């Protein structure tokens, strides 16, 4: 996965040092407007974890000592990826985090990949700007089904994008979302749906704005 183009690099980020106090970290967070920033060592090379504004506020509200080092409330110390990691590893590691820390080949802090950047990349894979219709095709997930769908559609149109999702809620365990190009006419779309319906269940047809 080519992460470099999506990663915010270290020199462009707001970070705190592991020697900063909670009071100093809170001031940095309030000034930056971020709810969470990375904690680095004194050399700014080693990632220690993240510090969240909400945890400092909670600590302060409970009468906690604000002169304690920021590492006292350190979180997500093991939540990081490497530049060479696969998309699937990245996707399932970031989950509910606002961002995931990215390390280089030497395990040094390189930057962060934000949740919003990853979602924008996924949205681009739909090729919404280039598409006209999205067909949601339900199938059993058997071998060769995707090739069959593509062969049917290729008789009438090209394919702008294709995404498969496993849902496992009924006998139709797979949903294949195929985007047809902007040039697709309603008549062509109807022919494709008609032919696909002979072998699969076309669960939804969405027209893109």
pLDDT above 80 for 80: yes
- Secondary structure class of 126 (helix, strand, coil): coil
How many C-alpha atoms does 112 have within 13 Å on its Cβ side? 22
Q: Which residue has the higher pLDDT, 151 or 116?
A: 151
Q: What residue ranges do the domains of the chain occupy?
A: 8-121, 126-207
**Distance (Å, rounded) from C-alpha 73 to C-alpha 51?**
7
Average pLDDT over residues 136-148: 92
Please identify, in words, the CATH class of the domain defined by 8-121.
alpha beta
Return the CATH fold of 126-207. Answer: Alpha-Beta Plaits (3.30.70)
pLDDT above 70 for 1: no
pLDDT at 2: 58
Record the pTM. Answer: 0.71
Average pLDDT over residues 42-50: 97
DSSP for 91-119, please give it: HHHHTT-SEEEEE-TTS-EEEEEEHHHHH
The segment with the largest mean pLDDT, out of 71-80, 113-122, 172-181, is 71-80
pLDDT above 80 for 63: yes
Q: Mind listing the pLDDT tens digit for each residue in 148-202? A: 999 999 999 999 989 887 765 556 688 899 999 999 999 999 999 999 999 999 9
């Amino acid at each position: 996965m080519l992460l470099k183009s999506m990663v915010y690099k270290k020199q462009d980020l707001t970070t705190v040092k592991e020697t900063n106090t909670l009071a100093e970290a809170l001031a940095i967070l309030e000034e930056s407007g971020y709810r969470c920033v990375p904690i680095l060592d004194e050399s700014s090379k080693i990632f220690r974890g993240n510090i969240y504004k909400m945890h400092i506020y909670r600590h302060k509200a409970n009468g906690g000592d604000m002169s304690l080092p920021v590492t006292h409330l350190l979180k997500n110390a093991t939540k990081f990826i490497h530049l060479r990691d696969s998309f699937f590893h990245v996707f399932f590691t970031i989950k509910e985090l606002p961002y995931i820390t990215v390390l280089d080949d030497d395990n040094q802090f390189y930057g962060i990949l934000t949740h919003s950047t990853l979602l924008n990349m996924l949205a681009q894979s739909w090729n919404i700007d280039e598409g006209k219709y999205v067909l949601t095709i339900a199938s059993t997930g058997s071998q060769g089904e995707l090739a069959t769908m593509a062969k049917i559609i290729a008789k009438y149109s090209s394919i702008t994008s294709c995404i498969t999702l496993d849902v496992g809620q009924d006998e139709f365990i797979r949903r294949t979302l195929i985007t047809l190009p902007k040039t697709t006419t309603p008549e062509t779309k109807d022919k494709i749906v008609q032919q696909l319906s002979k072998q699969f269940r076309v669960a939804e047809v969405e027209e893109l704005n």
